[in-house]
Amino acid sequence: MDTARPTAQLPLRERKKLRTRQALVDTALELFTERGFDGVTLDELCEAVEVSKRTFFRTFTSKEDVACAPLHDMWTAFLKELEEPPGDAGLPVFDLLRDTLLRTLTRMPADDWPHRVLLSRRLAERTPSMDAHGLAFCDRTSRTVVDTLLRRFDLGGTPYEDLVPRLTVDVLVAAFHRALEIWTAGAGDTPRTAEDLATAVRTACAAVPASLALPARPRPVP
Amino acid sequence: MDTARPTAQLPLRERKKLRTRQALVDTALELFTERGFDGVTLDELCEAVEVSKRTFFRTFTSKEDVACAPLHDMWTAFLKELEEPPGDAGLPVFDLLRDTLLRTLTRMPADDWPHRVLLSRRLAERTPSMDAHGLAFCDRTSRTVVDTLLRRFDLGGTPYEDLVPRLTVDVLVAAFHRALEIWTAGAGDTPRTAEDLATAVRTACAAVPASLALPARPRPVP
DNA sequence: AGCCATAGTGCCACTCAGTGGCACAAGCCA
DNA sequence: TGGCTTGTGCCACTGAGTGGCACTATGGCT
């Protein structure tokens, strides 16, 4: 089952753990997609992966968590990527974040990650508790991102705590979510790649200025 | 307990229901604040309000729901407010939304609503599942807002579904959340009013352009 | 090679959120 | 007053998530 990955040379124990984790994610996405999030009990999932429920909860914090793993992984990779020294100095933070996100996308495992994200997002759209879990995770991650930014960059001491940089991150996250939505909704079973998603992210980010300037002409009342 | 409100003249049954609802919210916020969200079981809450658990779940969708009620109420009022014809035509949608939000704030019950929001937000900050629930609710509301906008205004048929107006709403929601955060964090037990919150909303909205332009000057590496 | 210390696992019993079903009471309408 | 509808109480049940303890596999050390 999917050995010899870029798992490189981790201690055996770690590799085993990662394999269990991946098996749980894949089986969960498969079962949930087939019978719905609520149509599958954790006992069944654990049975299928041959793992005790106790072990499941040592790997994931909740039933939602396992189904949201693909995007969790991406954001975790994003945080790592953000620690790398940026190419251009003086670039607006928003562009820096966008580029970091795009770079992260190119580095996700190209063969299976996009498919996992697709399944996960489709599930989230019809499973409120999954959606909630994903949003809360993004929110927590955003805080971490702001902390990293403050540590690495001189943002000129903004008033009201971290209002300005935090808004920057919020806008990027919003744009990413819109991109995901568009990417996920795309026609039926067309294969989706991380590049497609990157394109959508670029589009969404580019649409931000227009969204702030968008004029509201009232319709003629019917 | 808190009769003769702007409840006006609703059928008796409705008024009773609303009173039960309000009692549940207030008691929940009180108990949760005192002993923590997880430190109070629904059975205890229902006992305190003298209502059966079954009834609780006819009024609220989850334990989190009752604790998030204050902001739910606000967004519901916001949607209603958005149906009113706007004063100025041709105003940017973002400004229109912001003004609608500010107007909504002035119309919330001035005496007890702010205090409820404060308790609710403080709880949410240390209760992940409450935070998640609140975020998911906002997300769903955002969709409704976009639908209303599209129905009421001629937004010039944007490409990629509703990308542009949806981003507009997302940015407003982000700004509101930052405003809430600042307002909630404000010193200790200073009384907080809806006007204070309105001021914070104005500040956060005004900070949006700066957040997009914010330059990232790298710090000298330590 | 052999042997602990320790990280990780399985099992079991328990709490509590959330649901379905049915009988009953309170508000509403004639 | 009596039917009708709407909302409530009660009770049993499912399933997520947790704590505790005994057990096994791993990796370091001699």
| pLDDT, mean of each 10-residue run, chain A (222 residues) | 42 79 94 94 92 92 95 96 80 96 95 94 95 96 96 80 94 98 86 92 97 88 60
Residue with structure tokens 């997002």? A121
pTM: 0.92
Assign B108 a pLDDT band (cuts: 50, 70, 90).
very high
Q: Give the per-residue pLDDT at B85.
A: 74
Q: Give the per-residue pLDDT at A128.
A: 94
Average pLDDT value for chain B: 90
Contact B139 A161 (CB under 8 A): no
Strand C and B83 CB separated by under 7 Å: no
Question: Is A210 in the B-facing interface, judged by CB distances under 8 Å?
Answer: yes
Q: Give the per-residue pLDDT at B222.
A: 56
Find residues 96-125 of chain A whose CB sits inside 8 Å of chain B: 96
Residue B187 clears pLDDT 60, i.e. is over it: yes
Contact A89 B217 (CB under 8 A): yes
Backbone angles phi, psi at A217, to 5 degrees: -85, 120
Q: Which residue of B has its CA nearest to A149?
A: B216
Q: How far is CA A50 from CA A21, A45, A46, in A?
A: 12, 8, 6
In this complex, the residue of A160, A171, A203 whose CB is nearest that of residue B171 is A171
Q: How far A71 CA lies from chain B's nearest CA (Å)?
A: 16
Q: Give me A161's structure tokens.
A: 């705590």
Query: Residues A65-84: pLDDT tens digits?
Result: 999 999 999 999 999 999 98
SS3 track for chain B: CCCCCCCCCCCHHHHHHHHHHHHHHHHHHHHHHHHCHHHCCHHHHHHHHCCCHHHHHHHCCCHHHHHCHHHHHHHHHHHHHHHCCCCCCCCEHHHHHHHHHHHHHHHCCCCCHHHHHHHHHHHHHCCHHHHHHHHHHHHHHHHHHHHHHHHHEECCCCCCCCHHHHHHHHHHHHHHHHHHHHHHHCCCCCCCCHHHHHHHHHHHHHCHHHHHHCECEECCCC
Find residues 126-185 of chain B whose CB sits inside 8 Å of chain A: 128, 131-133, 135-136, 139, 149, 151-156, 160-161, 163-168, 170-171, 174-175, 177-178, 181-182, 185
CB pairs under 8 A between A and B: 176
Strand pairing partners for B217?
A154
| Site from A129, A150, A168 to mutate, B interface, most B CB atoms within 10 angstroms | A168
Contact B214 A93 (CB under 8 A): yes
Q: Give the per-residue pLDDT at A105.
A: 97
Element (H, E) at A153: strand A153-154
Query: Residues B53-87: pLDDT tens digits?
Result: 999 999 999 999 999 999 999 999 999 999 987 77
Residue with structure tokens 């697709």? A118
Q: Give me A51's structure tokens.
A: 């793992």
Q: Give the per-residue pLDDT at A3.
A: 33
Contact A218 B174 (CB under 8 A): no
* Range B13-35 average pLDDT: 92
Q: Give the per-residue pLDDT at A15.
A: 82
